[in-house]
Amino acid sequence: MLGLFSEFEDDFAEAGLAGIPAQTTQVLNEDELIALLPEYDGWIIGDDPASRRVIAAAKAGKLRAAVKWGVGVDNVDFPAFKDLGIPVENTPGVFGAEVADVALTYAVGLARETYRIDREIRQNNAWPKPSGISMAGRKVALVGFGDIGRQTARRIAACGSHLIVYDPAFVPTEGLDVELATWPDRIGEADFIIFTCPLTPQTRGIFNHDLLARLKPGVRVVNVARGPVIVEGALIDGLRSGLVHSAALDVFEVEPLQADSPLREFDKCIFGSHNGSNSADAVRRVSRIAIGKIRRLLGLN
């Protein structure tokens, strides 16, 4: 939203609001938020730490409502909002197609090493010819079957892959032929593991050192969910041993990816910048939803 903020001036004005963009590329820290938020009536939350400490400081000032922009809510203390009497909502089900597009391109990129070929041509004037693997006939473990998971499943199924789905809240979807399993049963069958699940106490660190012994040699790993779903030390061990062929990560335990991260050692890997949902079309759509929600929560309808 920040990148296109000037486009929403009329939307804010029509809602009876003045929209002020935060001076940051990704997030503000708690102290920065505590210094800033008490001056505002409403807060459209990004990936910032919406903690009890921050919310209490904002409540002591002018803050009366908040909206979490986007789907992920692991950074938002909803009980604190409730306890302090500040209404808050998110914008669910809005980025499934966009994130699924990235998940598909990452999976195919790992299968055929297209990203690495591009880097070698550009950076080393090389002409590599890796054979890669086909997506058709491969088994894909899909962890999470919400909106993003279902959209990803449609795209992966179109490649001719077989899907094993892990989600305790699984609901069958017409037109999607998938097999349901309980994590981590059958994970050793998977040629790909794709994470599209929310970050919860149950999914935090779900890919860990104990899991490595169960994996199929040569498995490829994609994460478009949240960084802490994967214990990076375990993934690094898997990559170093060759057990894990490669990984495509749009998210990390610490963001931005640290300059000294051992993940940078592996040239077959693909890295993103927590940008899976960021198409201009989706940003415009979700930003206008958020503005409408903050207007309603502030009683300006």
Catalytic positions are 226, 255, 274
For residue 226, what is the enclosing H or E element?
none
Pairing of the two strands 192-195 and 219-223: parallel
Closest by CA position to 289, among listed 92, 85, 86: 92
243 secondary structure, DSSP code = S
Number of Cβ atoms within 10 Å of the Cβ of 284: 15
Measured between alpha carbons, how far is residue 188 from residues 138, 181, 225, 230, 269 in Å?
13, 12, 21, 17, 21
Give the bridge partners for 230, in sequence order: 207
Write the CB contacts of 197 (distance below 8 Å, at least 6 apart in sequence).
143, 144, 146, 149, 166, 167, 203, 206, 225, 229
